[in-house]
Amino acid sequence: MKIIKDEISIDELREMSGKMFGNLVKAVVDVEKKIMAVDADLHADEEALLLENGSVQKNLWGINMYPELTGEDFVEFDSMINLRPSQGNRSRGVEDIEIQKEIIVIVNKLVKK
């Protein structure tokens, strides 16, 4: 598991996906700090790592990245950590379109394709 503050290559993500789930890499994005944690079996583990490093729960969103895909198919908004009725998010997805856009901007900045 590691925190990405600057950038990670698509090749590194491909390598991670091969070791884990074969076609995806789980990540948790901090929309406030504009960083993400990657390379764990569970989004909850990445979430814990970010919380230990000063992130705030309300800013953390779980996603899956598919290194072999491009465009809108590259990022999937699906994680148990996204279930937050108190924030108005009642599903595993990220229901707020503006937060989705923020996440995509951060991912595009951090992932060197």
* pTM of the complete model: 0.96
Average pLDDT of the segment spanning 91-98: 97
Tokens representing 45 are 């583990």
Spell out the domain ranges in the chain.
2-112
21 against 83, higher pLDDT? 83
Give pLDDT, residue 25.
97
C-alpha count within 13 angstroms, C-beta hemisphere, residue 99: 19
**Distance between CA atoms of 95 and 87, rounded to whole angstroms?**
10
- pLDDT at 5 > cutoff 80: yes
pLDDT tier at 20, thresholds 50, 70, 90: confident
